[in-house]
């Protein structure tokens, strides 16, 4: 990866830290899950609204927000995640998460420039991978949860 591209990707993370997207509780949410990364002290709750799309199509995330505290990687990743999964159904979110998980565990970026690749540098710091995936885990939990707020005390990778 060129130095310029690395700089660009660092900007993505800094920007999401400075101006988190979709931060705060979502009053209209019908799915909630909480993620906890005790090794780093990161917390992340994800609130989303699943609603029917076109007839015969699976439910989609029509609204999403996150709330939490912790290191820059965890909060920037959760912020970016909310912008990527809005409008998606559960299968599409799982596919995106797989792509993101590959990026943070291998450092390999997809062929096309993707803001998810901003987190490729995380692969060099295995302890931080859980920081980067925390918000995604919470979102996946929320998608699987019943249509009532639920809290899980911890998550496993
Ligand atoms: Zn962390």
CATH code assigned at 123: 3.90.1010.10
47 pairs with which residues across the strands?
Answer: 32, 65
**30 occurs within a structural domain:** yes
Residue 152: pLDDT above 70? no
- How confident is the model at residue 151, as a pLDDT? 47
**152 occurs within a structural domain:** no
Query: Phi and psi (nearest 5°) for 35?
Result: -120, 150
Q: If you measure from the C-alpha of residue 68 to the centroid of ligand 1, how many angstroms do you get, rounded to a whole number? A: 11
Looking at the structure of the chain, the number of domains it has is 1
Provide the residue range defining the domain that includes 45: 3-146
CB 37 within 8 A of CB 70: yes
pTM: 0.88
Q: If you measure from the C-alpha of residue 102 to the centroid of ligand 1, how many angstroms do you get, rounded to a whole number? A: 18
Q: If you measure from the C-alpha of residue 130 to the centroid of ligand 1, how many angstroms do you get, rounded to a whole number? A: 7
Each residue's pLDDT tens digit, 72-91: 999 999 999 999 999 999 99
Residue 102: pLDDT above 80? yes
**151 occurs within a structural domain:** no
CB 155 within 8 A of CB 98: no
Q: Which residues, by Cβ under 5 Å, contact ligand 1, an ion?
A: 40, 42, 71, 74, 131
**156 occurs within a structural domain:** no
* Structure-token pair, residue 101: 């998980």
Could you give the percent of the chain with pLDDT greater than 90?
A: 73
């Amino acid at each position: 990866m060129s130095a310029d591209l690395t700089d660009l990707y660092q900007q993505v993370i800094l920007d999401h830290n400075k101006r988190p997207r979709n931060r705060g509780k979502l009053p209209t949410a019908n799915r909630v899950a909480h993620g906890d990364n005790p090794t780093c002290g990161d917390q992340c709750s994800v609130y989303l609204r699943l609603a029917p799309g076109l007839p015969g199509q699976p439910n989609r995330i029509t609204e999403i927000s996150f709330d939490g505290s912790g290191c820059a990687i965890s909060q920037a990743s959760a912020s970016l995640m909310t912008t990527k999964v809005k409008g998606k159904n559960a299968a599409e979110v799982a596919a995106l998460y797989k792509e993101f998980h590959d990026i943070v565990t291998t450092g390999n970026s997809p062929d096309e420039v993707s803001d998810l690749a901003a987190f490729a540098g995380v692969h060099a710091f295995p302890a931080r991978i859980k920081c980067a995936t925390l918000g995604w885990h919470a979102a996946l939990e929320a998608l699987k949860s019943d249509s009532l707020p639920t809290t899980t005390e911890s998550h496993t990778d």
